[in-house]
Amino acid sequence: MLRAENLTYRRLNRNIINNVSLDLIPGELVTIIGPNGAGKSTLLRMLTGYLPPDSGTCTLQERSLSQWPHLELAKVRGVMNQQSGLSFPFSVRDVIAMGRAPYGSHKSNQQAIESAVEITECGTLLNRHYNQLSGGEKQRVQLARLIAQLWDSSPKQRYLFLDEPTSALDLYHQQQTLRLLKKMTRDAPFSVCTVLHDLNLAALYADKVLLLHQGTLVASGTPKNVLNTELLTRWYQADLCVCEHPENGGMPQVCLRQ
């Protein structure tokens, strides 16, 4: 598993992340939620090794992230950031193929790329320039790149981190993306951790929800345990109510009051 213990990150004499501990277990889809400025993206960068903590530890498969060689880590951990701009006019095909960079000229590269294209429905985009795509199309292409990066012919433990992967997607592609991520945790030994602002998507697809507020982990548990009126009103300061989804086994659905 990936284990974080007492992670703290400081800037300008202020704790951006404050003593956060958590485990990411194979077969789980975990969502990080919280109001703006809660530290969600910063925590994700710490969990992926891009941002070293000022104190605390983060280990992947019982080895500190700082001790993993970059190419070896790239074969087991993929990251999709909020912004994925490119300065050069790469085609979509080229961007997806970049996911196979850690493998060199491996014989499985083409199979990995074709599989990623198929399951993300990017086939019609392959010959277009990446910078000419819409925001939602870019998100789909970046997800395909990550899937190609982590693809392997035999099941192996993989970790996928995504920062707001559905923010620019329409309803259909939001649903398909979360269904795909959920399926990946069920069909292969994937651990998926994603930052989401849409609490209803978190309720429908997450196995575990982590609620951050001002850098502190204030609640952790199943969607039913965390996404309730009392907790969300307290930490989001919004006038809202939580009801039961009419078709999904009583899963919580968050509604804003007028």
Name the maximum alpha-carbon separation found in the chain: 57
The residue count of the chain comes to: 258
pLDDT digit string, tens, across residues 14-71: 899 999 999 999 899 999 999 999 999 999 999 999 999 999 999 999 999 999 999 9
Mean pLDDT in residue range 195-206: 96
Distance CA 209, CA 86 (A): 32
What is the overall mean pLDDT for the chain? Answer: 93
Q: Using 50, 70 and 90 to split pLDDT, how confident is the model at 85? A: low
Q: What average pLDDT score do residues 149-161 get?
A: 89
Q: Which residues contact residue 180 at a Cβ distance below 8 angstroms, ignoring those fewer than 6 apart? A: 119, 120, 143
| Domain residue extents for the chain | 1-76+156-221, 87-154
If you average pLDDT over residues 116-127, what whole number do you get? 93
Question: How confident is the model at residue 156, as a pLDDT?
Answer: 82
CA distance 205 to 176: 11
Instruction: Identify the architecture of domain 1-76+156-221 in CATH.
Output: 3-Layer(aba) Sandwich (3.40)
Q: State the pLDDT confidence band at 84, using cuts at 50, 70 and 90.
A: low
Q: Report pLDDT for 106.
A: 83
- Block residue for tokens 């320039």: 129
What is the pTM (predicted TM-score) of this model? 0.92
What are the angstrom distances between the C-alpha of 35 and each of 5, 32, 199, 219?
23, 10, 11, 13
Give residue 188's pLDDT band: very low, low, confident or very high (50, 70, 90). Answer: confident
Q: Answer for the pair 193, 24: CB distance below 8 angstroms, yes or no.
A: yes
- Mean pLDDT of the 175-202 span: 92
Question: Are residues 113 and 96 in contact, defined by beta-carbon separation less than 8 angstroms?
Answer: yes
Residue 187: pLDDT band (50, 70, 90) is: confident
Q: Which residues contact 171 (CB under 8 A, 6 or more apart)?
A: none
Over residues 122-131, the pLDDT tens digits come to 999 999 999 9
